Homo-oligomer: A and B are copies of this chain.
């Protein structure tokens, strides 16, 4: 039992990113310890192409967590993001699985429960789609992130390998 008062849950919206959100998403991805101003981000042609590739692919989506969106969930301030890839496969009776990458919460908003909201929404989308499981990797140095994912029910069952080309 904890005697701490319950934190207020922020009012946020999760939606697929639009092209207009691209600078804010790139700012989040560049943000390690401090907020990067989206207006300082250079949106190169390669980033435009990559965003179009994600946006036009029915098995990929860049989701953004937005504060102060309008009644239709549009506009507002991007404070988090993640990319989901839905992968067809021959395991688990032929079910899709969801791979989650590029999980970010804006540096000045961490610790306020937004990460949990972002991940819970993403897991719910994968479940609604019929995915058999959700998978992700997290750098071995990020032990705080490992506790976060374990707290959401994720099991740390695998080693994650990368080969730079």
Interface positions of A (Cβ within 8 A of B): 25-26, 29, 44, 46-47, 49-51, 53-54, 57, 59-60, 62, 83, 85, 87-91, 93-96, 99, 101-102, 123, 126-127, 131-140, 146, 149-150, 152-165
Contact = CB atoms under 8 A, between A and B. Distances in A.
Identify the interface centre among A51, A59, A165: most chain B CB within 10 Å of its CB.
A165
17 contacts: A44-B94, A46-B93, A50-B95, A53-B88, A54-B90, A57-B59, A59-B59, A85-B87, A87-B101, A123-B165, A131-B165, A132-B165, A135-B137, A140-B156, A154-B161, A155-B161, A160-B160
What's the number of copies of this chain in the assembled complex?
2
Contacts of A94: 44, 46-47, 49-51
A134 B83 CA distance: 17
A16 B53 CA distance: 23
A135 B162 contact: yes
